[in-house]
Amino acid sequence: MSTITDIRTVGITTADQDKAIAFYRDTLGFVVRLDVDGPTRWIEVAPAGADVSLALVAGDRPAGEVIETGIRFNVPDAAAERDALSSRGVSVGELLLWPGVPPMFTFDDPDGNRFVILEQTVAEGS
């Protein structure tokens, strides 16, 4: 039996950690939870109040390659969030509206990490 109790952080690769911090903090409004220098710089960012954070892991990235992270973020209104991100210069995908599925769209960070924004349903928020 495992003693694993939760998910703390999910790592994504970034070519420039300082540029990544600027994007997540200044463009998306995330908070920097940790920024520790050591043998390897360890950075965690997250939406305010979120349980799980993103670790911005330094590493080489193929230029122009999009990486599907599998990470989904909740928002109260997907269409409004898409418009807001687009107005701040973030690369966003089409708003997808499928019957029985929450409205959603993709966005890419400057390193080509792709995320999905999902509109939070009433059942999820209760």
At 11 the three-state DSSP class reads strand
Strands 42-46 and 31-36: antiparallel
Question: pLDDT value at position 62?
Answer: 78
Determine the Cα–Cα distance for residues 28 and 51; give it in Å rounded to an integer. Answer: 17
Q: What is the mean pLDDT of each run of 10 residues along the chain (126 residues)?
A: 92 95 98 95 97 95 87 97 97 97 97 96 60
In contact, 73 and 81? CB cutoff 8 Å: no
Determine the Cα–Cα distance for residues 116 and 32; give it in Å rounded to an integer. Answer: 21
**Global pTM value:** 0.89
Determine the Cα–Cα distance for residues 14 and 46; give it in Å rounded to an integer. Answer: 15
